[in-house]
Amino acid sequence: MSFLPQLVFLIIFGAAGWFISKRVKFLRRNILLGKKTERNDQPEARWKTMLLVAFGQQKMFKRFIPAILHLFVYVGFIVINLEVLEFVLDGVLGTHRLFGPYLGSIYLAAMNFFEFLAVAVLLSCVVFLIRRNIIKVERFTKPEMKGWPAMDGNLILFIEIILMVAILTMNSTDQLLAERGVEHYLAIGTLAFSSMIQPIFEGMSDGALIFIERFAWWFHIIGILAFAIYVTYSKHLHIFLAFPNTWYSNLKPKGEMVNMPEVTNEVNIMLGIPTDAPADPPAEIARFGAKDINDLSWVNVLNAYSCTECGRCTSECPANLTGKKLSPRKIMMDVRDRAEEVGKSIDSGGKGLEDGKSLLGDYISKEEINACTSCNACVEACPVNIDPLSIILQMRRYVAMEESGTPAQWNAMFQNMETSFSPWKFSPSDRFNWAEKVKEEEMK
């Protein structure tokens, strides 16, 4: 018995594992370029959020039709990969359909269910391709989706279609060989979907069928491993990161803005309020707000790597809908691109964060962040609880407190709020004068 196939399989499997582990280390390092922050409070609420939003796809169902199609792809990805376990064991042990003789009718039922999901995934991916390239849903045609992002979305759909076709081809030829009594091939019963394409192969010789079946098997397992590597470079990294991303969601009410500890402590000291600040202040004052990714929290960078690029945030953004330059999706893509650039620079012995570039200015403009209304529509719309607003607010704070670069109209409003406790320039004692005029009108 030749052990060459097992040896080749182990080499391929090991090489894929090495590439994936290397990429995972790179991603982890990039995410941790962000500042430390604690997000482990309320564990019960966090488990619930992760199970409902990431695993249960809760927020996807705000748009029912794409949600159903996505559910087929999502469930298919999880369940069909259970079959990959058998592929791996067959590859290592040199067996064929290892579980078949032990599970009997359960195995047949499972295989039919796998095939149903394979067909569902295939059809869903075809519909998604039509939506992207023929119907051209508006949120997929925004400026930030030109070039690689559009190609990435299409490429992953084509890969999934090809992998599903490989499964059906393998099962179809496998069962034809079993019916002919060819050695090592196990008759497991009728497979509803792959049996439909058997007429394509019925006139072929045993040798040709064995070649096609083995080719489809190797193509599928190598395709799965290549897919796993590719995902770490793709927006589809959210397949894995959606779970930690939803765990570390901001559980505070969406309208609540987080105060800057440095400013809060200073104000408390001025007012004589006890603070938790250390007795000895740091020698160097931290930067107010965020200019680059190291000023953001690591959760912000994790958000960026978890972005699905679905565009639901941008399609709900009132600023974007009125023609402003702001696109919350682009904000997240820019943070991820900057993290990638810095990470590659560090790995190549470059200057890293000291390369003369920054997230604000080189990637994201003041015009974009100033257009934000802070309404949280983007946060509410995101299917994996990404928070673009947090990043926007931190960059606006940098512009205001480090550069004194806020628009003149904003400065006038800030001054009015400081002196008159409202955006308008009149005394607080005159605030309800309008009500007196209303009463006078009613008296008439």
pLDDT digits (tens, 9 = 90+) for 143-199: 999 999 999 999 999 999 999 999 999 999 999 999 999 988 988 989 999 999 999
pTM reported for the whole predicted model? 0.90
Residue (of 342, 395, 376) closest to 29 by Cα position: 342
Phi, then psi, of 297 in degrees rounded to 5 = -85, 160
CA distance 402 to 394: 11
407 to 80, 146, 234, 366, 367: CA distances (angstroms): 54, 31, 37, 10, 10
CA distance 291 to 359: 6
- Nearest-Å Rg of the Cα atoms of the chain is 28
For residue 205, pLDDT beyond 70: yes
Average pLDDT, rounded, for the chain? 91
Q: For residue 214, what pLDDT band results from cuts at 50, 70 and 90?
A: very high
CA distance 20 to 225: 9
pLDDT of residue 409: 87
For residue 7, give every residue at least 6 positions away whose Cβ sits within 8 Å of its Cβ, in sequence order, or none: none
pLDDT of residue 320: 97
pLDDT of residue 1: 46
Q: Which residues pair with 297 in a beta bridge?
A: 35
The sign one gets for the Cα dihedral 419, 423, 426, 432 is negative
Q: What is the average pLDDT across 118-136?
A: 96
Angle between helices 298-306 and 388-401 (to 10 degrees): 130
Q: For residue 281, what pLDDT band results from cuts at 50, 70 and 90?
A: low
Of the candidate ranges 12-26, 258-272, 286-300, the one whose mean pLDDT is the lowest: 258-272
Residue at token pair 């509410």: 380
For residue 256, give every residue at least 6 positions away whose Cβ sits within 8 Å of its Cβ, in sequence order, or none: none
pLDDT of residue 283: 53
Are 139 and 312 in contact by the 8 Å Cβ rule? The answer is yes
pLDDT of residue 54: 94
- Tokens in use for 138? 């508006």
Are 372 and 322 in contact by the 8 Å Cβ rule? The answer is no
CA distance 332 to 411: 28
Are 294 and 130 in contact by the 8 Å Cβ rule? The answer is no
- Tokens in use for 98? 């290892």
Residue (of 177, 181, 174) closest to 217 by Cα position: 174
CA distance 439 to 428: 20
Decide: helix, strand or coil at residue 118. Answer: helix
For residue 282, pLDDT beyond 70: no
